[in-house]
């Protein structure tokens, strides 16, 4: 489906056709809710895997568990497959579950307003969609951060963010500068080393790097998993448990797992032979304080003669390169901004307006809070996938989205009762949950004093302090006592209140 028809009414509107939007669509259809529409501002499904096409883009979670439990992929080519393969997988799931024909591409939502018994949603092309329930599935790594570096707009060569890779630019034989040393940079740097004439990596903060190897998977294993689907499901579950027991435990509290990852990172760093380079690559904080960067090849790349690490602060970008604070000029032909994403935006800039004209942007500001990661008081029948404090560590977000989609589907089911106009989490319950959740952050690895995209405007982690399994338990079923069911028929009164508050 493409383009927009002007007025549409559906039971459920999903915004975003990335991994979590697909999880939501499948959960609804499996529950028999077919009156759904997905709107996607891009031209294809896949979300982050559609947008990120930079050299070396790959999964950094073992793909055996980076797939849906209802569609474990028997045929991944490697442990950590490339972006195109992952995107093809999600596209296949969307197709197999009848979601492509329920998706309108090229439609961008600009505003959503609660009108008493349904959402009135405006799109950039002037269309209107009304829906009993609104689910935002807009991803976390969605809004590229373009750094505020003096002179950036004066650079004479091509300069682009990693999520907007310019494939017209051939890096072969050119001098490429990469700003940033996060997970993305750790994939691009080895991919460009040896292709570009030289690569200069501008590091502001050194990162710990876990040496996660990639392994080719034999076609025979795909054949085996196809022949024995139970084995395939078992592998999916086994890897998921392994991640729960290792990565999730390590971030949750000090102990064996954290010590183990710490030792592996330190061992990896010792592979850097030059002591001076090793010193400059040594982070000031402890491993896991930020999201661990996974790479087997980054340190190999950074030790190449045609790759240079610059750890002086950038003073300015000039037309032919970068000048650092020590006055050194680093000549460049191409500038890559591996500078990350605004992870606090969620569905914003969509202007979401709930009861009595309450704007989500005003409620959240720089410190977004939700009820159990998925819903927000005063915003009835409004749900967020991968919302605030979702478990976004070094584990599969696919499993997290699935859990949330199931809970949201059950909550949407409450709207079937004739006397229910909307469903919304109670304010007191949400406040108590947030207080408990934030109090539990104390032992987590992210409170180690380092700055990262895990932190909100108050410097508190926006991640989950317990295990993903606990998240699963917390969202296993809808607890009606924690929700308010709004009476049906309040539409006109509430709509009037909202209109006046405008």
Chain positions contacting ligand NA7, by CB under 6 A: 141, 147, 149, 179-185, 204-205, 291, 314, 338-341, 453
The distance of closest approach from Cβ of residue 343 to ligand NA7 in the complex, given in angstroms and rounded to an integer, is: 8
Cβ closest to ligand NA7, residue 181 vs residue 200? 181
The distance of closest approach from Cβ of residue 141 to ligand NA7 in the complex, given in angstroms and rounded to an integer, is: 5
The distance of closest approach from Cβ of residue 260 to ligand NA7 in the complex, given in angstroms and rounded to an integer, is: 21
Cβ closest to ligand NA7, residue 143 vs residue 471? 143
The percent helix, strand, coil of the chain (3-state, each to 5) is: 35, 20, 45
Q: Kindly report the CA angle at 263 between 262 and 267, in degrees rounded to 5?
A: 120
The distance of closest approach from Cβ of residue 202 to ligand NA7 in the complex, given in angstroms and rounded to an integer, is: 6
The distance of closest approach from Cβ of residue 213 to ligand NA7 in the complex, given in angstroms and rounded to an integer, is: 18
Q: Find all residues with CB under 8 Å of 34, minimum gap 6, and list them.
A: 28
The distance of closest approach from Cβ of residue 418 to ligand NA7 in the complex, given in angstroms and rounded to an integer, is: 44
The H or E element spanning position 229 is helix 229-243
The distance of closest approach from Cβ of residue 222 to ligand NA7 in the complex, given in angstroms and rounded to an integer, is: 26
Cα 91 → chain centroid? 18
Cβ closest to ligand NA7, residue 183 vs residue 214? 183
Cβ closest to ligand NA7, residue 205 vs residue 434? 205
Helices (H), 414-486: 427-439, 468-474
Cβ closest to ligand NA7, residue 255 vs residue 457? 457
Q: Kindly report the CA angle at 244 between 240 and 249, in degrees rounded to 5?
A: 165
Cβ closest to ligand NA7, residue 78 vs residue 111? 78
Cβ closest to ligand NA7, residue 17 vs residue 179? 179
Backbone φ, ψ for residue 203 (5° rounding): -105, 125
Residue 502 and residue 494: Cα distance in Å, rounded? 12
The distance of closest approach from Cβ of residue 338 to ligand NA7 in the complex, given in angstroms and rounded to an integer, is: 5
Cβ closest to ligand NA7, residue 123 vs residue 184? 184
- For 231, other C-beta atoms within 10 Å of its C-beta total 15
What are the angstrom distances between the C-alpha of 373 and each of 25, 62, 252?
18, 24, 17
Q: E strands of 287-429, at which residues?
A: 293-294, 307-310, 314-318, 321-324, 329-331, 334-337, 351-353, 382-384, 420-425
The H or E element spanning position 485 is strand 483-487
């Amino acid at each position: 489906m493409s383009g927009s028809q002007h007025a549409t009414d559906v039971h459920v509107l999903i915004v975003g056709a990335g991994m979590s939007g697909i999880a939501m669509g499948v959960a609804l259809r499996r529950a028999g809710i077919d009156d759904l529409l997905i709107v996607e501002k891009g031209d294809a499904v896949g979300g982050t895997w559609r947008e990120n096409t930079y050299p070396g883009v790959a999964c950094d979670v073992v793909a055996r568990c980076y797939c849906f439990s209802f569609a474990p992929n028997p045929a991944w080519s490697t442990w950590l497959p490339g972006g195109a393969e992952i995107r093809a997988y999600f596209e296949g799931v969307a197709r197999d579950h009848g979601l492509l024909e329920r998706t309108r591409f090229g439609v961008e939502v600009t505003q959503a307003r609660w009108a008493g018994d349904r959402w009135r949603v405006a799109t950039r092309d002037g269309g209107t969609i009304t829906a009993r329930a609104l689910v935002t599935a807009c991803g976390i790594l969605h809004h590229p951060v373009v750094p505020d570096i003096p002179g950036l707009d004066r650079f004479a060569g091509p300069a682009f963010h990693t999520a907007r890779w310019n494939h017209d630019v051939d890096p072969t034989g050119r001098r490429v500068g990469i700003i940033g040393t996060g997970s993305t940079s750790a994939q691009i740097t080895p991919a460009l080393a040896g292709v570009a004439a030289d690569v200069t990596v501008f590091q502001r903060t050194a990162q710990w790097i876990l040496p996660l190897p990639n392994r080719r998977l034999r076609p025979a294993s795909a054949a085996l998993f196809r022949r024995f689907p139970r084995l395939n499901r078992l592998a999916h579950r086994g890897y998921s448990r392994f991640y729960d027991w290792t990565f999730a435990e390590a971030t949750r509290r000090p102990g064996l797992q954290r010590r183990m990852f710490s030792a592996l990172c330190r061992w990896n760093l010792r592979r850097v032979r030059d002591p001076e380079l090793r010193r400059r690559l040594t982070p000031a904080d402890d491993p896991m304080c930020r999201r661990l960067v996974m790479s087997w090849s980054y340190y190999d790349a950074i030790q190449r003669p045609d790759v240079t690490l610059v750890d002086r602060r950038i003073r300015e970008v000039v037309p032919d390169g970068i000048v650092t604070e020590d006055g050194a000029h680093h000549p460049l032909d191409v500038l890559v901004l591996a500078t990350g994403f605004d992870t606090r935006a969620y569905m914003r800039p969509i202007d979401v307006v709930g009861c009595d004209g309450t704007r989500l942007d005003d409620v959240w500001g720089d410190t977004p809070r939700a009820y159990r990661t998925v819903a927000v008081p005063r915003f009835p029948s409004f749900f967020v996938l991968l919302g605030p404090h979702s478990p976004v560590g070094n584990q599969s977000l696919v499993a997290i989205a699935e859990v949330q989609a199931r809970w949201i589907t059950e909550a949407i089911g409450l709207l079937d009762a004739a006397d229910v106009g909307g469903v919304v989490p109670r304010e007191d319950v949400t406040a108590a949950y947030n207080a408990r959740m934030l109090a539990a952050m104390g032992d987590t690895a992210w409170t180690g004093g380092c700055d990262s995209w895990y932190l909100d405007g108050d410097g508190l982690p926006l991640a989950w302090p317990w295990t993903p399994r606990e998240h699963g338990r917390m969202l296993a079923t809808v607890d009606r006592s924690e929700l308010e069911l709004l009476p049906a028929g309040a539409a006109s009164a509430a709509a009037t209140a909202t209109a006046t508050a405008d």
